[in-house]
Amino acid sequence: MDRTHIIDQLGRHAAVFRAMFTGLDTTEVRWKPAPEKWCTLEILCHLHDEEREDFRERLRSTLETPREPWTKIDPATWVAERNYMDQDFDTMLEKFFHERDRSLSWLRGLTEAPWDNAYMHPTVGPVSCELLLTNWVAHDLHHIRQLNNLRYEHLRAHTTVPLDYAGKW
């Protein structure tokens, strides 16, 4: 695994997220294609919380104290518990980018880290540092895809013209 390349991907994803979150109006930020789906604001809040409490924290824990239990997280319940829909989009945007910058600085500063460490998860077994770092990138990609789909659905719901000329979605 080329850790530098993986870490650089996290940096490039920050630029992708910045572009995807820029120029949206309030209604688009809160628009959902269905009640059970997430809106852009909820995705942003989720990315912020995952940045702080899942990937960076669990990787840090696995590098430093791999035998200690991880702090429990429950991203699905955070949406309601943390009132994602009541958050200010611009504030959350800056908070997310602040956390991503902190993550990148920390990751790039790991020079003698024990990357071979693994946490023994009680249900899934060993979770290596490589798995955590690589899945951090995959998590970004998942939400980039989700945001693309959401933007397309928003466009489709708010136009009267067919979108098939653009190609099959």
What is the value of pTM for the model shown?
A: 0.95
The residue extents of the domains of the chain are 3-166
Mean pLDDT by 10 residues, the chain (169 residues): 93 98 95 96 98 97 97 95 97 98 98 95 95 97 98 96 93
> How distant, in Å, are the alpha carbons of 6, 16, 86, 104, 144 from that of 12?
10, 6, 29, 11, 12
Helix (H, G, I), strand (E, B) or coil at 125: strand
Check the CA dihedral 44-47-123-135 and report its sign.
positive
Nearest to 113 by CA among 97, 140, 133: 133
**Rounded CA gap, 92 and 29, in Å?**
12
**pLDDT tens per residue across span 112-153:** 999 999 999 999 999 999 999 999 999 999 999 999 999 999
The reported pLDDT for the residue numbered 1 is 64
CB contact at 8 A, 142 and 35? no
Q: Do 53 and 73 form a contact (C-beta atoms < 8 A)?
A: yes
Q: Which CATH number fits domain 3-166: 1.10.110.30, 1.20.120.450, 3.40.50.2300, 1.10.3720.10?
A: 1.20.120.450
